[in-house]
A and B are shown apart, each in its own frame.
Chain A
Amino acid sequence: MDEIDTKLIKLTQDGITLTHAPFANIAKELGISEEEIVTRFENLQQSGVIRRFGASIGHRAIGITANAMCTWNVPEDKVEEVGAIMAGFSEVTHCYERPRYPDWPYNLFTMVHSYTREDCEKVAREISKATGISDYSLLFSEREFKKTGARL
């Protein structure tokens, strides 16, 4: 990643303009062609610096208002297998293994987004059935104090 890549990300991370040629002004500012911008984004994605280039959805605005953090107590030797099954659910947007603590037994975390709490609970039941993990807890978000994407 060179200096132009960094500038390119900084100039686009808050969103490109909805115009016929959204990269034209950025290209001018960086002194490169629009085609080079396209190539640079392809390379940035290939190297994993950016996960994707696309739309971030305001899921609450379109009615996907329920979001549950499902936390699962999974035996260590099952984590790999169970994590893969959980990740396969389309309603699961994030799936991670995290450490346990004396008062926190849950080591797998899945975020489930859907239209209603009942939908989320249903998905959790389906995941439980598919994985055989019955010790789990659903934490619904009741208030959002802050939400921002990662920025350079």
Chain B
Amino acid sequence: MVQLDQIDKDILNSIQLDFPVETHPFEKLGEQFGIPEDEIIERLERLSNAGAIRRIGPIINTKKTGGISTLVAAKVPENRIDEVAEIINRYTEVSHNYLRPAEYNIWFTMSAPSEARLIQILDEIKAKTGCDLINLPTKRLFKIGVKFNIR
């Protein structure tokens, strides 16, 4: 696990939502945190190399870019989990895929340019695996993932 000092934590808590989109963003962060720009960059490099930061960039809203997405749950026998997960992962449209032990135990999200494509993929997965699937598209959105409280 990455060891974080208080300045690292403050930076990480800040740049998830309030990254300064400016021509010289790290200089600006330096001013904000009262440390030199070079130190900001060194810290961000260290945090990136250690996996604490995946990337700094734009987070796309797939709805606005014409895509649609959904969450799907599959009922998969214990002894077929690896095989089925692998079949699901092969689709580039699948963005997240997790094992969550319960009756419906494989949970994945997909996004595609059209609903027709999503349905096609679901039908294919059903045919290839023989597993029961339920399609759980968003009916209403109350909050979308943003900030981790790092303490």
Contacts and interface: CB of A to CB of B under 8 A. Distances in A.
Nearest to A141: B98
A42 B21 contact: yes
Contacts, number: 238
B24 interface: yes
A52 B59 CA distance: 5
Contact of B59 (A92, A111, A137, A149): A149
A150 B5 CA distance: 31
Given A51-B59, A55-B15, A104 B50 contact: no
B9 to A, nearest CB: 9
Interface string A37-54: 110011010011111111
**Range of interface residues on B (Cβ < 8 Å):** 35 or more
Interface in A95-152: 95-99, 101, 103-104, 107, 109, 111, 113, 137, 139-152
B1 A15 contact: no
A143 B98 contact: yes
Given A93-B146, A143-B85, 18 more contacts: A18-B26, A20-B37, A22-B26, A52-B17, A52-B19, A52-B59, A54-B15, A55-B56, A57-B53, A62-B148, A63-B1, A90-B147, A91-B149, A97-B138, A98-B136, A104-B104, A111-B145, A144-B97
